[in-house]
Amino acid sequence: MAVNGPAGGTVRLPALGEYDVGSARAMKVAQCIVAAGSTAGAAAAASDSNTFVNHFTDTQEAALALFNVEGPGIWVADVLSVVVTAFTASVTMTLGDTDLVDGWGHSEIILPTTTDQGYQASDSADQVDPSLFRDNGGKGKYMAASSAAVELVTAGADIAAGRLAVYAEYFVADNAIYG
């Protein structure tokens, strides 16, 4: 079961109070941290301290919303990840949305049981898979207001250790509501 950490849970795109959502299409980056933890929201190990953790999880998650589109339409250019602390052996992870569970990254791209493999762009490990939103010349994905989220799915073993940093590169694509 996932619970929200001290940083507040699912990240809004665009952030509440973002000052330039109606201006030129400035590319932005948002961060979401997922770490092993108990259902009470406590870290499972010292290496998974609760500093800036958005979600704690100790079980498999069908679809954990990392980034919610809550404002105007958002163009998500890419979703990147890095495993800060290796997850329990045989844990698999995919990054996607409600349309395609692994549209931003297969488990082979995320490498959840490998520590410090470096930032993985969603198209960097598999250049021939057309299902990825950024692969084969893709430019990302438009996500309509209040109808989409970037989601993490975990499977395999229950999570006893691990920490994942996920980054969404995005810009406001529809500022019509701002005049």
Give me the helices (H) in 34-135, please.
Answer: 107-110
d(C-alpha 115, C-alpha 24), whole Å: 37
pTM of the model: 0.81
Residues in the chain, how many? 179
Tokens of 61: 């998650």
37-62 pLDDT tens trace: 765 556 666 555 666 788 888 878 78
Q: In this predicted model, what pLDDT tens digit does every residue of 112-162 receive, in sequence order?
A: 888 766 555 544 444 445 556 765 456 788 888 666 899 999 998 888 888
| Contact present, 108 and 126 (Cβ < 8 Å) | yes
